[in-house]
Structure 1
């Protein structure tokens, strides 16, 4: 039995497939199981990481001050993913040129350069 749960847009999906041994055997005939070598994730070059960091600093420098959610959205787009964007945000939080203050609804990042 295979159960698939999740969402497609606003629609909830809960799908159960029941296969007997004959169905599994027939399915196995159509699926070629070849061993796959795991490919390592491409490593970022040091200069690519530095360029990304410099661009993140430039975002705050150009704005003068920016709210956390807006900055997070910009960093996510810049870095190509939410996890990488969060790493940049944490790095900005601890940067000497950035001062973070607690705003009414969200933190505000200020350029101190």
Structure 2
């Protein structure tokens, strides 16, 4: 169970999210931060610094573009907005990707193309 408390503007928020084992496994594989359930982590692997929520979303955004290889700006923004649940947060990720050394952005007429650089 995950509990999120805070405010959205002046509105108080108290959200409880319940995840079963398969949900946690999918989340872990999407974030690529944990061993599959029931399998211990490799003993030789160095201890990874835990990801905060912003780092986790950033990793998922990079993985999204890496797997696609290339996306148009509007398509990428739409997917980032879906990932974050917010147009503003999606735009911030888009700007962060634009300035990343792992991403190449070229103009294709009116639409920029975002490409992952291997």
Please list every run of 5 or more consecutive structure 2 residues that lacks an aligned counterpart in the other structure: 1-9, 15-50
Q: Are 1:51 and 2:56 an aligned pair?
A: yes
TM-score, with length taken from structure 1:
0.59
Please list every run of 5 or more consecutive structure 1 residues that lacks an aligned counterpart in the other structure: 1-37
Equivalent runs, 1:25-40 vs 2, <5 Å: none
The one of 93, 107, 110 equivalent to 1:88 is 93
Which has the higher Rg, Structure 1 or Structure 2?
1
The one of 58, 73, 80 equivalent to 1:75 is 80
RMSD: 2.3
Offset of residue 105 of structure 1: 3.3
- Work out the CA distance in 1 between the residues paired with 2:101 and 2:12: 34
Aligned length: 74
